[in-house]
Amino acid sequence: MHVPSAIRWHNECLELLDQRALPVEVVYLPIDSIEAAVTAIRTLAVRGAPAIGIAAAYALATSMRQVSQARFAGSLDAHGSRLKAARPTAVNLAWAVERLQARAAREPSYAALKAEAEAIHAEDRAICRAIGEAGRALIKPGTRVLTHCNAGALAVSELGTATAPLYLSHALGIPFKVYADETRPLLQGARLTAWELSQAGIDVTLLCDNAAASLMAAGEIDLVLVGTDRVTNNGDVINKIGTLNLAVLAWHFKVPFYVACPSSTFDPNTARGKDVTIEHRDANEVVNTRTAQVPAYNPAFDVTPAGLVTGLVTDRGLIEAPGDSDLPRYFGLI
Ligand code: MRU
């Protein structure tokens, strides 16, 4: 891989690549407390649905290293709640915390929590590879792919989710082209996706988010491929703000719209997208010294109805028309 890992776990110490500084600087932040982990997640030093789940799992385990048996259950509960509240939308955060809590209910020890966090991280690598295999057939010689935000190595581990089919196809020598939306206001596409794909030698072109329509109208896009923070029981997709714009455009211009979804991002407990809490972020991410000083509307995510999604690329294979599928059964949950 040509980009640094978002998450480093060495000698039982957690370090997070500070993604706020990329691509200008590569700096790692030591995370030695729940406060540090919550701040890193909230301020997007670590971001991307699977990565915040993995980071939270390691941070939770680390925070329990010195806790006595008498205080174990109470502290785990308190630390877990603080982590889960750091960002509300991606299901992976709560999923990872709850997975560690379930393990601790059986084995209340630091060693068990550490092992569970390491297992989540290892599984994530395998899941990304499986998504890559499932999505490889979508990338044909000459395919022009449009992506949004960053669902790459920096958001997950190694191959990323939406980028996994791209990395595997590139390794096989298949020529294709990627267009990366800059992804306002925090520019995950411009700073992260365009950077990581170019580091890997993939042909990538950056565009303003509002240029996507003209690109599709010109017949220059064959496939939209994005990641997701949560897929609800009915197949609705919650992802970075602007994803819905692309889905509507793709429907209008008859471009296939696929979403890479690891099984850890499927949420069978939430019926539909409108039931998900959408994070609204600070106005100062939009209003700055070059803009009028007015209030800003700044939701971090939007909901794409299942009916606009051509398919989910998952670690269990390709699911066409997810809105018509029995997703819990597909993900092996019933
Ligand atoms: O606010 P961010 O940068 O955490 O948003 C990330 C996204 O929307 C990604 O597309 C999503 O988490 C999938 S990452 C594999």
Give 263-297 pLDDT, tens digit per residue: 999 999 999 999 999 999 999 999 999 999 999 99
User: 189: which DSSP letter?
Assistant: I
Residue 1 lies in a domain: no
Does residue 111 sit in the same domain as residue 159? Answer: no
Does residue 120 sit in the same domain as residue 139? Answer: no
Does residue 63 sit in the same domain as residue 154? Answer: no
The rounded distance, in Å, linking the Cα atoms of 226 and 211 is 17
CA-derived radius of gyration, the chain: 19
Q: Lowest mean pLDDT: which of 149-153, 196-200, 329-333?
A: 329-333
State mean pLDDT over 120-146.
97
Strand partners, 223: 145
Nearest residue to 145 via CA among 211, 89, 222: 222
The rounded distance, in Å, linking the Cα atoms of 301 and 294 is 21
**Taking CB atoms and a 6 Å cutoff, what residues make up the pocket around ligand 1?**
44, 47-50, 90, 149, 151, 155-156, 161, 188, 227-229, 239-240, 300
Catalytic residue status for 229: yes
Atom of ligand 1 nearest to the CA of 149: 10
Q: What domain count does the chain have?
A: 2
Does residue 265 sit in the same domain as residue 170? Answer: yes
Q: Is the pLDDT assigned to residue 310 strictly greater than 90? A: yes
Atom of ligand 1 nearest to the CA of 52: 4
Q: Is the pLDDT assigned to residue 93 strictly greater than 70? A: yes
Q: Is the pLDDT assigned to residue 97 strictly greater than 80? A: yes
Residue 2 lies in a domain: no
Instruction: Report which secondary-structure segment, H or E, holds 318.
Output: strand 317-320
- Extract the tokens encoding 208: 């303003």
Residue 3: pLDDT band (50, 70, 90) is confident
Kindly report, residue by residue over 179-209, the tens digit of the pLDDT: 999 999 999 999 999 999 999 999 999 999 9
Domain range for residue 56? 7-128
Does the predicted model carry a pTM greater than 0.85? yes
Does residue 293 sit in the same domain as residue 186? Answer: yes
User: Ligand 1: which residue has its CA nearest to atom 6?
Assistant: 48
Does residue 91 sit in the same domain as residue 144? Answer: no
55 CA to middle of ligand 1, Å?
Answer: 14
Does residue 63 sit in the same domain as residue 144? Answer: no
Does residue 103 sit in the same domain as residue 144? Answer: no
228 CA to middle of ligand 1, Å?
Answer: 6
User: Ligand 1: which residue has its CA nearest to atom 10?
Assistant: 227
Catalytic annotation, pick one of 18, 124, 229, 236: 229
CATH number of the domain within which 266 lies: 3.40.50.10470
* Predicted pLDDT of residue 225: 99
Atom of ligand 1 nearest to the CA of 279: 1
* Predicted pLDDT of residue 314: 98
Does residue 162 sit in the same domain as residue 295? Answer: yes
The rounded distance, in Å, linking the Cα atoms of 154 and 188 is 10
Instruction: Report which secondary-structure segment, H or E, holds 172.
Output: none
Does residue 287 sit in the same domain as residue 271? Answer: yes
The rounded distance, in Å, linking the Cα atoms of 133 and 169 is 9
